[in-house]
């Protein structure tokens, strides 16, 4: 998140001061700049011409977390007792790697979005070239559904909706849920 801020002056009619032309207040639909990087300049305009200073800052990017982590964050934030908060914290931080700890703290601080569960699909064992080398299905937009032994290929990840759309949600295919550590 950037520490730089932009300042605008807005009057009671919802119009903004045109800093580039210094010619008065304009509708917010005007496309030329109505901001300044100097807070003092914005305060002077507000004092002389009326209105108030509006500070514009970048909204921090939300962290993507799994449904279970998102639920634990909500439980922690909305906890009514120390026991509830402690249980959520224990789930969130017990046995986590340092990078996961930082990611979860960022999600608590800046907000989060829940990412959809993803799955890898193993081809039936009878299709494998070697018993020790499982084949994973992956989707290529040019060539369609194919096989790979490379489990880490991002194209081997499917959401539940994709599993259904590609007909991979049946018993014939074994699915592995991908954890946060693997993504």
What's the pLDDT tens digit per position in 143-159?
Answer: 778 777 777 777 788 88
Structure confidence at residue 1 (pLDDT): 40
Establish if 152 belongs to a structural domain: yes
Establish if 183 belongs to a structural domain: no
Q: What's the average model confidence in pLDDT over 40-47?
A: 89
Q: Same domain, yes or no, for 122 and 172? A: yes
pTM score of the predicted model = 0.49
pLDDT of residue 70 exceeding 60, the answer is yes
Q: Same domain, yes or no, for 128 and 172? A: yes
User: Which structure tokens are listed for 19?
Assistant: 């800093």
Dist CA 151 CA 155 (whole Å) = 9
Provide the number of structural domains found in the chain. 3
Q: Same domain, yes or no, for 77 and 102? A: yes
Q: Which helix (H) or strand (E) holds 104?
A: helix 98-110
Structure confidence at residue 3 (pLDDT): 59
pLDDT, one tens digit per residue, over 72-103 is 999 999 999 999 999 999 988 887 788 888 88
Torsion of CA 88, 94, 96, 101, to 10 degrees: 50
Structure confidence at residue 174 (pLDDT): 82
Structure confidence at residue 31 (pLDDT): 55
Note whether 43 and 53 are within 8 A (CB): yes
Establish if 42 belongs to a structural domain: yes
Q: Same domain, yes or no, for 72 and 49? A: no
Establish if 182 belongs to a structural domain: no
- Which of 81, 108, 115, 109 minimizes the C-alpha distance to 92? 108
User: Treating both helix axes as pointing N-terminal to C-terminal, what angle do 67-77 and 82-93 enclose, rounded to 10 degrees?
Assistant: 150
Q: Same domain, yes or no, for 52 and 74? A: no
Dist CA 52 CA 62 (whole Å) = 29
Establish if 1 belongs to a structural domain: no
- Residue 89 dihedral angles phi and psi, to the nearest 5°: -65, -40
- Residue 29 dihedral angles phi and psi, to the nearest 5°: -80, -10
Dist CA 41 CA 5 (whole Å) = 13
Q: Same domain, yes or no, for 84 and 110? A: yes
Give the domain range for residue 142.
Answer: 118-177
pLDDT classification of 2: cutoffs 50, 70, 90? very low
What three-state secondary structure class fits 165? helix
Note whether 122 and 175 are within 8 A (CB): yes
Q: Which of 37, 56, 75 is the last residue of a domain?
A: 56
pLDDT classification of 133: cutoffs 50, 70, 90? confident
């Amino acid at each position: 998140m950037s520490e730089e801020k932009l300042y605008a002056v807005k009057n009671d009619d919802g119009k903004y001061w045109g800093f580039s032309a210094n010619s008065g207040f304009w509708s917010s639909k005007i496309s030329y700049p109505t901001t300044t990087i100097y807070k003092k300049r914005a305060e002077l305009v507000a004092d002389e011409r009326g209105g108030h200073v509006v500070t514009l800052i970048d909204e921090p990017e939300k962290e993507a977390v799994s449904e279970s982590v998102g639920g634990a964050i909500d439980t922690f934030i909305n906890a009514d007792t120390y026991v509830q908060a402690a249980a959520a914290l224990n789930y969130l931080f017990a046995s986590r790697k340092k990078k996961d700890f930082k990611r979860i703290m960022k999600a608590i601080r800046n907000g989060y979005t829940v990412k959809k569960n993803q799955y890898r699909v193993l081809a039936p064992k009878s299709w494998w070239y070697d018993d020790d080398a499982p084949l994973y299905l992956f989707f290529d937009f040019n060539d369609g559904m194919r096989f790979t032994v490379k489990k880490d290929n991002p194209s081997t990840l499917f959401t539940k909706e994709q599993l259904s759309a590609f007909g991979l949600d049946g018993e014939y295919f074994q699915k592995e849920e991908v954890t946060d550590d693997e993504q």
